[in-house]
Amino acid sequence: MMKASKALKAALFAATAALMAASMGASAADGFLADRHAAKGINCKMCHGPDEKNPQTPTIETCTACHAKDALVKKTANVKPTNPHVSPHYGSDLDCSNCHFGHAASENFCDQCHQFKFKVP
């Protein structure tokens, strides 16, 4: 019984995500962030926590556990016209999800005010 209900919950969790993707007119083939992570062996729980019944929305800490902030800032230091991972306004503390979406096309948060034309993966 335990096993069956766990499987059911896992299926429901997956179905919710599929529904979400479908309602956005997307599919796994579009390769949003979560899909590209899955392709590298990063599963749902690594971003949403172990409790599939109560998936946690990823925070900046979730992401920086794997993508160390300092290393990230260094990695994109030469991106033109400016490093997207550090700014005079937010330092390197701007929540990742302002730009990187898990299951939808990412956005360029800075261009509300600037014209940096970043391509956010």
Ramachandran class of 8: left when φ > 0, alpha when ψ lies in -120 to 50, beta otherwise: alpha
> Is 102 a residue that touches ligand HEC (CB under 6 A)?
yes
- Judged by CB under 6 A, how many residues of this single chain contact ligand HEC? 56
CB of 26 to ligand HEC, least distance (A): 10
- Quick note: the x/- pattern for ligand HEC over 53-92, rule CB under 6 A, is --x-xx-x-xxxxxx-x--x--xx--x--x-xx-xxxx--
CA distances from 69 to 5, 22, 39, 50 (A): 38, 32, 23, 24
- Min dist CB 8 to ligand HEC, Å, is 14
Phi first, then psi: give them for residue 87, nearest 5 degrees. Answer: -150, 160
The binder of ligand HEC chosen from 5, 46, 77, 91 (CB under 6 A): 46
Beta-strand (E) ranges in 1-121?
A: none
Q: How far is the CB of 16 from ligand HEC (least distance, A)?
A: 4
Place of tokens 């096309």: 105
